């Protein structure tokens, strides 16, 4: 076997290096492309998962909304079967929206308040002997004040307060603000009998005889309805 010449050995060594370098560049390029593609794929998968989560959340929210609105409409039907389906749905939807807007209210508490305030009629045009109007029995002076905060143009008490949507918007705003100050029972007492009496009642540790007789009966009656509606799967 012939010995390799010095020149051949000299030429062969760089050739090996070149081959190794070329192979290395190819592998590195392939690896980079692979991981780059994998990273892009991973990002797409993350984006798809987020989209699916958003869809699931939207479906869950929509299902909850549908359930709550059906429940409210079923409660209305217990007291007033003469409302048109459209009006009934609009009322239910407004109550549901209020429960989202005010974290200290839920549909059961709003419904319990309306049931008692409207004397079990759910009649949007009901007027009390004292002059309170509508589903949540709002006095005209209070309504004119609340209308400003709701962006409602005050025309006259009959037109505005017998509108069930406006009435619920104003009534839930007022009830929520009172509950934020006095708690549920104190807020209900203030809603029915005024803040001064409710404040004195709470300071006396809810002693008997502080509230007006009507309010003293009103608070447990609404709480009883509230518990009843919470327990119902209508």
pLDDT per residue as tens digits for the range 146-184: 999 999 999 999 999 999 999 999 999 999 999 999 999
Q: Which residue has the tokens 């309306």?
A: 114
Mean pLDDT of 5-10: 42
Q: What fold characterizes domain 90-231?
A: Lysozyme (1.10.530)
- How far CA 137 is from CA of 3, 93, 95, 113, 172, in Å, comes to 113, 19, 15, 10, 11
> How far is it, in rounded angstroms, from Cα 76 to Cα 138?
19
Q: Which residues are catalytic?
A: 117
> How far is it, in rounded angstroms, from Cα 191 to Cα 215?
9
> How far is it, in rounded angstroms, from Cα 182 to Cα 189?
9
The SS3 of residue 126 is: coil
* Average pLDDT along the chain: 85
CB 165 within 8 A of CB 94: yes
Whether pLDDT at 31 is above 50: no
Whether pLDDT at 194 is above 50: yes
Task: Give the chain's end-to-end CA distance (angstroms, integer).
Answer: 100
Report which DSSP code applies to 134.
T
pLDDT recorded at residue 50: 67
pLDDT recorded at residue 33: 52
pLDDT tens by residue, 55-106 = 555 556 688 999 999 999 999 999 999 999 999 999 999 999 999 999 999 9
Taking alpha carbons only, the member of 216, 218, 195, 214 closest to residue 206 is: 216
> How far is it, in rounded angstroms, from Cα 11 to Cα 17?
10
- Which residues contact residue 179 at a Cβ distance below 8 angstroms, ignoring those fewer than 6 apart? 104, 105, 186, 187, 188
């Amino acid at each position: 076997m012939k010995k390799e010449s010095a020149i051949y050995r000299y030429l062969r060594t760089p050739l090996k290096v070149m081959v190794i370098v070329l192979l290395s560049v190819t592998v590195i390029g392939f690896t980079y492309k692979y991981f780059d593609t994998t990273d892009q794929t991973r990002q797409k998968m993350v984006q798809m998962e987020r989209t699916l989560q958003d869809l699931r959340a939207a479906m869950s929210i929509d299902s909850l909304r549908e359930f709550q609105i059906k429940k409210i409409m079923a409660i209305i039907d217990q007291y007033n079967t003469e409302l048109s389906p459209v009006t009934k749905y609009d009322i239910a939807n407004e109550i549901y929206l209020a429960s989202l807007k005010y974290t200290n209210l839920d549909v059961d508490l709003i419904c319990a308040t309306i049931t008692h305030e409207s004397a079990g009629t759910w009649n949007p045009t009901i007027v009390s002997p004292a002059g309170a109007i509508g589903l949540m029995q709002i006095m005209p002076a209070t309504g004119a004040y609340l209308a400003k905060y709701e962006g409602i143009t005050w025309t006259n008490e009959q037109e505005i307060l017998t509108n069930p949507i406006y009435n619920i918007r104003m009534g839930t705003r007022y009830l929520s603000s009172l509950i934020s100050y006095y708690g549920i029972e104190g807020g209900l007492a203030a809603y029915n009998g005024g803040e001064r009496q409710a404040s004195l009642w709470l300071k006396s540790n809810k002693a008997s005889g502080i509230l007006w007789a009507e309010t003293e009966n009103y608070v447990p009656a609404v709480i009883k309805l509230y518990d009843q509606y919470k327990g119902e799967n209508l």
